[in-house]
């Protein structure tokens, strides 16, 4: 049985004043019956590390460079994330694919760079509304995942996958549990063909997960938890989602 994982994606939200009570509330909500992590903006990672120190809560980043080090102004390497205790890094979020023109191969290279430093990549895949309506969902997510599988090769079993339909992110419109499960099953089958570890791998769902819809999503056989955007900024909501995964 796979242990569930709930990851908060703060995106570009937060402030030192707002972070402190949010992190304290999440820490005070322990114990959780699932794994829990927060992926904060780079500048706040050290603050999360202090707030979560000494417990079983994890933290991470929302992006990393493909490069190890060098003249890459503005970039942050996977080694730097590891130095600050990051367990996870989100790569290929649809906002980065859309606003920063990240290609499938760049996302795969970032996942490889993260794994090389011991940071688990949470690889996001997902179709746009137009692609879903055109019946292209399966092809799109398979193409996105395929690039990562080929680049990671024998290490593919070490990533976490997140299915995030673009039309459900931040829109309040969630995929139904059945819609999400269909895509998760497809992704699991693709992983099975690529790695002997597929049955143990976590595939998270993301896209307007809230306290009141989390349990039905997490009850699906191939949904192993959630990547949570907006609701991860409200302590009570995020804790309730973590409880729904327990
Ligand atoms: C996300 O940004 O990964 C996300 C799923 O956002 P939201 O929960 O706000 O839809």
Architecture of domain 5-244: Alpha-Beta Barrel (3.20)
Residue 34 pLDDT: 98
Q: Do the Cβ atoms of 227 and 175 come closer than 8 Å?
A: no
Q: Which two tokens stand for residue 94?
A: 């649809």
- Is 192 a catalytic site residue? no
Mean pLDDT of the chain: 97
- Give the separation between CA 105 and CA 110, rounded to whole angstroms: 9
- Give the separation between CA 107 and CA 102, rounded to whole angstroms: 7
Q: Where are the domains positioned within the chain? A: 5-244
Per-residue pLDDT at 64 exceeds 90:
yes
Within 10 Å of residue 94's Cβ, how many Cβ atoms? 22
Expressed in angstroms and rounded, the spacing between residue 82 Cα and the centre of ligand 1 is: 24
CA distances from 87 to 35, 81, 117 (A): 11, 8, 10
Expressed in angstroms and rounded, the spacing between residue 108 Cα and the centre of ligand 1 is: 21
* 209 CB within 6 A, ligand 1: yes
Please provide the DSSP assignment of 188-233 as one string: HHHHHTT-TTGGG--EEEESS--TTTHHHHHTSTT--EEEESGGGG
Closest CA to 65 of 111, 99, 104, 19: 111
Write the residue with the smallest CA distance to atom 6 of ligand 1. 229
Mean pLDDT of 151-178: 96
Per-residue pLDDT at 246 exceeds 90:
no
Pocket test for ligand 1, best of 5, 60, 166, 230 (most atoms within 8 A of CB): 230
Residue 1 pLDDT: 80
CA distances from 134 to 1, 137, 173 (A): 35, 8, 18
Pocket test for ligand 1, best of 5, 93, 99, 227 (most atoms within 8 A of CB): 227
Expressed in angstroms and rounded, the spacing between residue 11 Cα and the centre of ligand 1 is: 9
* 230 CB within 6 A, ligand 1: yes
Q: Do the Cβ atoms of 37 and 8 come closer than 8 Å?
A: yes
* First CA to last CA distance, the chain: 13
Q: Do the Cβ atoms of 218 and 3 come closer than 8 Å?
A: no
pTM: 0.98
Expressed in angstroms and rounded, the spacing between residue 231 Cα and the centre of ligand 1 is: 8
**b/e string for 106-142 if b means 16 or more Cβ within 10 A?**
bbbbbbbbbbebebbbbbbbbbbeebbeeeebeebbb
Angle at 10 between CA 54 and CA 63, to 5 degrees: 85
Q: Which two tokens stand for residue 196?
A: 């002997």
- Is 164 a catalytic site residue? yes
The band of 239, judged by pLDDT with boundaries at 50, 70 and 90, is very high
- Give the separation between CA 98 and CA 135, rounded to whole angstroms: 20
pLDDT digit string, tens, across residues 84-132: 999 999 999 999 999 999 999 999 999 999 999 999 999 999 999 999 9
Residue showing tokens 């503005």? 74
The backbone torsions φ and ψ at residue 92, rounded to the nearest 5 degrees and listed phi first, read: 75, 20
Catalytic residue among 93, 102, 127, 184: 93
């Amino acid at each position: 049985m796979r242990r569930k994982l709930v990851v908060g994606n703060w995106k570009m939200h937060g402030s030192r004043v707002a972070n402190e009570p949010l992190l304290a509330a999440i820490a005070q909500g322990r114990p959780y019956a699932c794994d829990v992590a927060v992926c904060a903006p780079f500048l706040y990672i050290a603050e999360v590390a202090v707030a979560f120190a000494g417990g079983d809560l994890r933290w991470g980043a929302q992006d990393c460079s493909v490069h190890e080090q060098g003249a890459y102004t503005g970039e942050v390497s996977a080694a730097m994330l590891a130095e600050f205790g990051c367990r996870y890094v989100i790569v290929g979020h649809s906002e980065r694919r859309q606003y920063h023109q990240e290609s499938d191969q760049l996302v795969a290279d970032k996942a490889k760079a993260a794994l090389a430093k011991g940071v688990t990549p949470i690889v996001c895949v997902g179709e746009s509304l137009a692609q879903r309506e055109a019946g292209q969902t399966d092809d799109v997510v398979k193409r996105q995942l395929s690039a990562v599988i080929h680049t990671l090769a024998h290490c593919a079993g070490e990533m976490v996958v997140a299915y995030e339909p673009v039309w459900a992110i931040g829109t309040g419109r969630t995929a139904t549990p059945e819609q999400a499960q269909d895509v998760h099953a497809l992704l699991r089958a693709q992983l099975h063909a690529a790695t002997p570890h597929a049955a143990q791998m976590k595939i998270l769902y993301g896209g307007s997960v809230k306290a009141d819809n989390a349990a039905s999503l997490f009850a699906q056989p191939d949904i192993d938890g959630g990547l949570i955007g907006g609701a991860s900024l409200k302590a009570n909501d995020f804790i309730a989602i973590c409880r729904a995964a327990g």
